Amino acid sequence: MLQNKKISFLGGGAMAEALIRGILKAGLFKPEQVTANDISQERLHYLADRYQIRTSPEGAAVAAEAEILFLTVKPQVINQVLKHVASKVRKETTVISIVAGFTIAALEEALPQVPVVRVMPNTPVAVGEGMSAIALGTFADAGTGEIASAIFSSVGQVVNLPESLLDAVTGLSGSGPGYAFVMIDALADAGVRAGLPRAQALLLSAQTLLGAAKMVIETGEHPGKLRDMVTSPGGTTIAGIHVLEQRGVRAALSDAVIAAANRSRELGKK
C-alpha cells in the first residue's frame, strides 16, 4: 500500500517531525521516500541531518512530486500555502491535513477533486503514543483511509469519525495532554508536600497515570470498575477519591473538555 510511495510534508515543525520519526521507526517508509519543506533553512538542515530525509525550500516542487502530501503548517498560513501549491497537486495525490480548524470543505475548494483527509492528532505522537481522529473527504475512498490509518497508527492509536465530531475530539484528546500535564504536576507537588524528593515524585506521578491509562486500554474494563478494584472499604484510595469528588475534579475536567471543544468551533469559523 505504501511501498515506494513518495511522501512530503509542507511544514517541518514539531508535529511533522513526530510523524516523520514515527513512520521511519515503524518502517513504513525509507528516508529517501520522505521530503520535508519549510521556510526555515535551519529547520531543513536539522531534519535532513537527523533523519536522512530529503528537504527542499520549494513548496510547489515538493507538492508536485508527492503521492502523499501532508499539510503540517500553521493555521494562519494555510491559505497562502495552498494558493502557492494547489496547481501543482495531482488529482491522484492523497492530501492529509492536520491544520487545526481548516475544514474539509475549505480543502476541497482549494484542491478540487483531490482525495483529502483531515486528521486531529495530539502531541504524544512525538513518543509513539498519540491519539488521532481521521475524517475522510468527498473524494477519499477506503484505500485513502487505509493509508491515513497506517501512517497515524505508527505513532499511536486511530479512530475514524465524521468531521462534525472533530471539535469534540479537539476538546478531549487534542487538548487532553495539557490536562494530563496539569494533573501530573499537581500530583508531583503533592508528593513533595508529603515528603518525597521532587524527581521521584514526578516519576511516581507520571508513571502512575501512564499505568492507569494502559490498564483501561489493555483490559477493556470500564474505569469505574478498575477504580472499585483499588478502593478497599475504609482505605486510603477511597479517602482520596472522596476529596476529589468534594472538590469537583470530575466536573472541572468535563467543563474543560466542553470549553476547549467550543473554542475549537469558534476558531474554525474565523
Superfamily of domain 7-169: NAD(P)-binding Rossmann-like Domain (3.40.50.720)
- What's the confidence (pLDDT) of residue 126? 84
Burial (CB count <10 Å: 0-12, 13-18, 19+), residue 215: middle
So where are the chain's domains? 7-169, 174-268
DSSP per position, 49-79: HHH--EEES-HHHHHHH-SEEEE-S-GGGHH
Here the cell at position 157 is 492509536
pTM of the model: 0.89
Averaged pLDDT score across all residues of the chain: 94
- What's the confidence (pLDDT) of residue 3? 75
- Percent above pLDDT 70 for the chain: 99
pLDDT single digits (tens) 85-105: 999 999 999 999 999 889 999
Sign of CA dihedral 230, 178, 103, 54: negative
β-strand partners of 119: 134
Q: Where are the beta strands (DSSP E) in 68-198?
A: 68-71, 94-97, 116-120, 130-136, 156-160
pLDDT > 90? residue 268: no
Q: Which residues are annotated as part of the binding site for NADP(+)?
A: 10-15
- Percent above pLDDT 90 for the chain: 88
pLDDT single digits (tens) 2-17: 778 999 999 999 989 9
CA distance 85 to 70: 12
Helix, strand, coil proportions of the chain in percent (round to 5)?
Answer: 60, 15, 25
Of the pLDDT bands very low, low, confident and very high (cuts 50, 70, 90), residue 116 is very high
Query: Which residues touch 117 (CB under 8 Å, ≥6 apart)?
Result: 94, 95, 96, 97, 134, 135, 136, 137, 140, 144, 145, 148
Contacts 24+ apart (CB under 8 A), 59-62: 59/10, 59/84, 59/85, 60/84, 60/85, 60/87, 60/88, 61/88, 62/8, 62/10, 62/35, 62/36, 62/37
Q: Which residues are annotated as part of the binding site?
A: 10-15
**Looking at residues 31-36, what average pLDDT do you find?**
96
pLDDT > 80? residue 1: no
pLDDT single digits (tens) 143-202: 999 999 999 998 999 999 999 999 999 999 999 999 999 999 999 999 999 999 999 999
Q: What is the DSSP letter of 163?
A: G
- CATH assignment of 174-268? 1.10.3730.10
